Amino acid sequence: MKFTLSLFLALFINSHYLIAAEVNNGDIEQRTQASKAVIKQFFEELKSELKGALTAGGPAKAIEVCKQVAPAIALKYSTQNNWSVSRTSLKNRNPDNAPDAWEKSVLEKFNARKAAGEDPLTIDYAEIVDNKGERNFRYMKAIPTAEKPCLMCHGTKIKPEINELLNKHYPEDKAVGYQEGDIRGAFSITQPM
C-alpha cells in the first residue's frame, strides 16, 4: 500500500484528535469525581448544621443556617479548591443564588430528565464550557426535595410563623410549592481549566 503525505497527515491528525478526546474524557471524569466528593462534603456539612438547628430551635434556627451558614460552607469549599462552589435553583430563595444561563439550561434539562422517569438522586451533568475564550469545567448535581424537614420551608403547606420568617429574610422568595421528590435546585461547581 502506497502512503501519500496527505494520507499520512490525515491519519496523524485524526489519531491526534482521538488522543485529545481521550485526554479530555479522562479529565472530565477526574474533575467530575472531584466535584462529587466536594458536593458530598458540602451536603453532609449543611445537613448536619440543619439537623442541629432544627433540634435546637426548630425551623427558625434552620432558616438562619440557610441564610448564614450555607453561604459560608460554599465559600469554604470554593476557597479550599480554588473553584466556585454554590447552590442554585430555577425557584431560588436568595436572589444571589439565581442561575446563570448555563445553569438555567442544565436545571431545565434536569426537570425534563426527572419527568422522563430518572431518579433525581442520580441526576447530574458535566461539561467543559468555553465562555469568551475562557475554558472551565462545569458540573451540577440535582438537589431533590427528599426529606420531610425540607418541606417545612419549601413545601406547599408552610406554617404562618415560618412563612413570616421566610418573608422577613427572603422578600423575593420563590423556593416554595415543592413536593417530596421534586428537584429543588442543584449544587453547581465551576473549575478553571
Cα three-residue angle 67-68-74, rounded to 5 degrees: 100
Q: How far apart are the C-alpha atoms of 79 and 119, rounded to whole Å?
A: 31
pLDDT of the residue at 35: 97
Type and span of the H or E element at 84: strand 84-88
Of 112 and 20, which is predicted with more confidence? Answer: 112
Q: Which of 79, 78, 77, 71 is nearest to 49 (CA)?
A: 71
Which range (4-8, 86-90, 160-164) has the least confidence? Answer: 4-8
Q: Is 88 helix (H, G, I), strand (E, B) or coil?
A: strand
Q: How far apart are the C-alpha atoms of 124 and 35, rounded to whole Å?
A: 11
User: Are 145 and 178 spatial neighbours (Cβ–Cβ below 8 Å)?
Assistant: yes
Model confidence, pTM? 0.83
Which range (8-22, 44-58, 85-99) has the least confidence? Answer: 8-22
Q: How far apart are the C-alpha atoms of 22 and 16, rounded to whole Å?
A: 10
**Across the strands, what pairs with 142?**
186
**Across the strands, what pairs with 100?**
none
Mean pLDDT score, 68-87:
96
DSSP secondary structure letters along 134-156:
EEEEEEEEEEE--SHHHHHHHSS
Cα three-residue angle 78-81-86, rounded to 5 degrees: 25
pLDDT exceeds cutoff 50 at 5: no
Q: How far apart are the C-alpha atoms of 121 and 31, rounded to whole Å?
A: 20
